[in-house]
Amino acid sequence: MRITGGSARGQILKTLPGLLVRPTTDKAREAIFSMLSSLASDWSRVLDLFAGTGALGIEALSREAEYADFVDQNGKCCQIIKQNLTKTGFADKGRVYCSPVMKAISMLDNSYGIIFLDPPYADTTLGAVIKSIDVSKLINEESVIVASHSAHFPLDDRLGSLLKIKEKRYGDTGISIFRKEVTP
């Protein structure tokens, strides 16, 4: 797995052996960032939830995001993320939280321009996690939430006050992008 664009383009990221982590494919990541180029206006802070190897957040840093927070509850994943941040030269532009995602949502104080969610496909709580983000301090009117999920289990078009503004399918991976509903 390698970084597909920006200053760290081509760098290979360390991954966990076995099936413990299902990293987002290079093709799906390229598609995500292609969509974000026209949808996201705030690249100052990004949040990578269910971070695994940190590929999505590191890709954002490579593409000029200013800072990224990474959350994963697996200690081995947290170590891999730290190693990948160091390898790509972004150790000073990111922080890793080794914590369950729901705990991190209630604990983090920052507002993020982009939030990535890439849970295991077997995780059935993705909709509930997005609804928790909706009522948290993590988002504002400009925030974009990017959720990767099994293409066989699409997400609802509305989750709380968040509306699905784009949806794409790449093999078994579904990508759903949400933003707060704009009320006149």
Which domains are seen in the chain, by residue range? 26-180 (3.40.50.150)
pLDDT for 129 beyond 90: yes
For the purposes of burial, counting CB atoms within 10 Å of the CB of 101, is it exposed (0-12), middle (13-18) or buried (19 or more)? buried
Report the pLDDT value the prediction gives residue 22, as an integer from 0 to 100.
60
Span 17-43, pLDDT tens digits: 765 556 667 778 888 999 999 999 999
Report the pLDDT value the prediction gives residue 93, as an integer from 0 to 100.
97
The CA distances from residue 102 to 62, 85, 113, 129, 130, in Å, are: 27, 23, 19, 7, 10
Report the pLDDT value the prediction gives residue 7, as an integer from 0 to 100.
82
Report the pLDDT value the prediction gives residue 183, as an integer from 0 to 100.
64
- 94: pLDDT confidence band, cut at 50, 70 and 90? very high
Report the pLDDT value the prediction gives residue 120, as an integer from 0 to 100.
85
What is the rounded average pLDDT of the residues 164-175?
90
Q: What is the DSSP string of 46-96?
A: EEEET-TT-HHHHHHHHTT-SEEEEEES-HHHHHHHHHHHHHHT-GGGEEE
Report the pLDDT value the prediction gives residue 105, as an integer from 0 to 100.
97
